[in-house]
């Protein structure tokens, strides 16, 4: 039920009364933000509870405010879309959480025994726009509510759920995910891929997944809480051809034991028949009718907003620093597949994966303009593929006549590493 009125400030205001297990689906354009307040009852946005009386504002996003037991919600502003729905798959998602919770308990009970069990390592698989990222949030939030600190692993280089797009990253989540800002700002484990599609360098993508797995395995060995909490792995929506190969590779490399397949029967049945996945729990989950299909333009815009947010903050609360240096002062590299390596390329290392990758300097006049560069923790150029990164800078201007390059960094002072790693990801903002 909804009652609409015009507030004193002339703003359109609608009060929605939601029944049990209903959700209010809201879409705000980039131009018209919406202000949402929970007036009574209990409600959550992708598993994050909203405090009663607290107003939050959002734009350019599509969300669902869900209630298990009923709620009254006030929405101020002009929504692009607003409707309530009682047919949601939330009960099924809660069951999935139950499966994971049982695994966490079993892992805890096995502590100190001869064979200690792992908490759930769950991978969300499915085509684009089926709700993978939203379900990841729900599952993580529900685990956090139970006192766990699951690791969110983001393999979706197209969206950048944790940091800028083009990176593979992981963060333990200890508190409910912020409805507006998303996951914690400090992401401890970030590896730069530098592209929004794995086709650019699939070997590098696989190599980075392996690096993340090694670090997380070590963390699980060192901490009982980390081992039992497990991980939630969010993937790209590419489930055929190379996309499928990379999905399987990630499931094996990260030692996944539960695969949740959303919104595609075909993928579910293919994964079920996969010999290499024998023994893993593969569960089919329905897609929510609320999931919104995003077109190319919207995705492109979200990606750019995500990058801008990295430097400026969600509400422009950060103060990035612009710095001008001689062009040759920045040592920027990119990783190439061996067959396309140029004469200037160096071998990356001696391991099997390394042999397919080489590192080459980026051409400052051709490649660097508007590029997002990762500041690597590598201490030699050969280590650049294997090391995680401290953060990112953005090349905002190149002046070849005066031999100057201007970049934007999140904070002033020298960069925390000597070597920079770039790819094809570009950003366009002032």
Contact residues toward Mg ion (CB under 5 A) are 132-133
Reduce the DSSP state of residue 132 to 3 states and report it: helix
Sign of CA dihedral 354, 356, 359, 362: negative
Annotated binding-site residue? 130: yes
Q: Which is nearer to Mg ion, 121 or 132 (CB)?
A: 132
Measured from the CB of residue 196, what is the shortest distance to ligand ATP in angstroms?
11
Q: Which is nearer to Mg ion, 133 or 288 (CB)?
A: 133
Task: Please choose which of Mg ion, ligand ATP, none residue 292 contacts, taking the beta carbon within 5 to 8 angstroms, the exact cut-off set by kind.
Answer: ligand ATP
Buried b (16+ CB within 10 A) or exposed e, 122-143: bbbbbbbbbbbbbbbbbbbbbb
Task: Please choose which of Mg ion, ligand ATP, none residue 64 contacts, taking the beta carbon within 5 to 8 angstroms, the exact cut-off set by kind.
Answer: ligand ATP
| Half-sphere exposure in the Cβ direction for 5 (13 Å, CA) | 7
Q: Which is nearer to Mg ion, 67 or 134 (CB)?
A: 134
Find where tokens 């009364």 sit.
Answer: 17
Measured from the CB of residue 44, what is the shortest distance to ligand ATP in angstroms?
11
Cα 116 from Cα 390, distance rounded (Å): 33
Measured from the CB of residue 159, what is the shortest distance to Mg ion in angstroms?
5
Measured from the CB of residue 264, what is the shortest distance to ligand ATP in angstroms?
11
Task: Please choose which of Mg ion, ligand ATP, none residue 261 contacts, taking the beta carbon within 5 to 8 angstroms, the exact cut-off set by kind.
Answer: none
Annotated binding-site residue? 62: yes
Measured from the CB of residue 84, what is the shortest distance to ligand ATP in angstroms?
11
Phi-psi sector, 127: left (phi>0), alpha (psi -120 to 50), beta: beta
Binding residues for ligand ATP (CB under 6 A): 23, 25, 62-64, 128-134, 156, 159, 237, 288, 290-292
Task: Please choose which of ligand ATP, Mg ion, none residue 128 contacts, taking the beta carbon within 5 to 8 angstroms, the exact cut-off set by kind.
Answer: ligand ATP
Measured from the CB of residue 134, what is the shortest distance to ligand ATP in angstroms?
3
Task: Please choose which of Mg ion, ligand ATP, none residue 145 contacts, taking the beta carbon within 5 to 8 angstroms, the exact cut-off set by kind.
Answer: none
Q: Which is nearer to Mg ion, 127 or 150 (CB)?
A: 127
Cα 319 from Cα 313, distance rounded (Å): 8
Contacts 24+ apart (CB under 8 A), 167-174: 167/191, 167/192, 167/193, 167/374, 167/389, 168/193, 168/205, 168/208, 168/209, 168/212, 169/212, 170/212, 170/215, 170/216, 170/231, 172/226, 172/229, 173/140, 173/144, 173/149, 174/144, 174/149
Q: Which is nearer to ligand ATP, 236 or 381 (CB)?
A: 236
Q: Which is nearer to ligand ATP, 307 or 373 (CB)?
A: 307
Torsions phi, psi for 405 (to 5 deg):
-130, 135
Annotated binding-site residue? 134: yes
Decide if 87 contacts 66 (C-beta within 8 A).
no
Reduce the DSSP state of residue 145 to 3 states and report it: helix
Annotated binding-site residue? 325: no
Binding positions for ATP: 23, 62, 129-134
């Amino acid at each position: 039920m909804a009652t609409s009125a015009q507030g004193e400030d002339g703003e359109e205001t609608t009060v929605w009364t939601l029944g049990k297990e209903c959700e209010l689906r809201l879409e705000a354009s980039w131009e018209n933000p919406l202000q949402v307040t929970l007036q009574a009852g209990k409600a959550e946005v992708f598993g994050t509870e909203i405090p009663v009386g607290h107003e939050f504002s959002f734009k350019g996003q599509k969300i669902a405010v869900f209630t298990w037991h009923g709620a009254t919600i006030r929405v101020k502003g002009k929504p692009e879309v607003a409707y309530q729905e009682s047919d949601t798959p939330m009960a099924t998602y809660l069951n999935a959480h139950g499966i994971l919770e049982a695994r966490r308990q079993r892992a805890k009970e096995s502590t100190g025994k001869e064979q200690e069990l792992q908490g759930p390592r769950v991978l969300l698989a499915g085509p684009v726009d089926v709700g993978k990222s939203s379900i990841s949030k729900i599952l993580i939030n529900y685990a956090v509510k139970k006192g766990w600190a699951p690791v969110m692993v983001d393999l979706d280089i197209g969206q950048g759920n944790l940091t800028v797009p083009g990176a593979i990253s992981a963060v333990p989540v200890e508190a409910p995910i912020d409805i507006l800002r998303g996951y914690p700002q400090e992401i401890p484990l970030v590896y730069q891929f530098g592209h929004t599609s794995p086709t650019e360098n699939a070997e590098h993508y696989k190599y980075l997944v392996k690096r993340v797995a090694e670090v997380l395995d070590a963390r699980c060995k060192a901490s009982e809480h980390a081992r039992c909490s497990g991980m939630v792995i969010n993937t790209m929506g590419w489930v055929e051809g190379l996309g499928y190969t990379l999905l399987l590779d990630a499931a094996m490399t990260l030692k996944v034991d539960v695969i949740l397949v959303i919104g595609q029967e075909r993928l579910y049945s293919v994964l079920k028949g996969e010999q290499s996945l024998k023994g893993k729990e593969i569960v089919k989950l329905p897609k929510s009718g609320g999931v919104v299909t995003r077109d190319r333009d919207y995705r492109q815009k979200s990606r750019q907003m995500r990058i801008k947010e990295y430097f400026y903050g969600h509400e422009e609360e950060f103060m990035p620093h612009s710095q001008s240096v001689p062009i040759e002062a920045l040592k920027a590299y990119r990783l190439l597949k061996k067959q396309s390596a140029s004469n200037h390329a160096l071998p990356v290392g001696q391991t099997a994966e390394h042999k397919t990758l080489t590192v080459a300097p980026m051409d400052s006049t051709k490649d660097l303009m508007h590029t997002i560069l990762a500041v690597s923790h590598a201490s030699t150029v050969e280590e650049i593929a294997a090391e995680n990164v401290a953060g990112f800078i953005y090349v905002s201007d190149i002046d070849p006549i005066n031999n100057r390059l201007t970049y934007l960094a999140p904070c002033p002072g020298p960069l925390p590493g000597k070597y920079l790693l770039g790819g094809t990801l570009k950003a366009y903002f002032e």
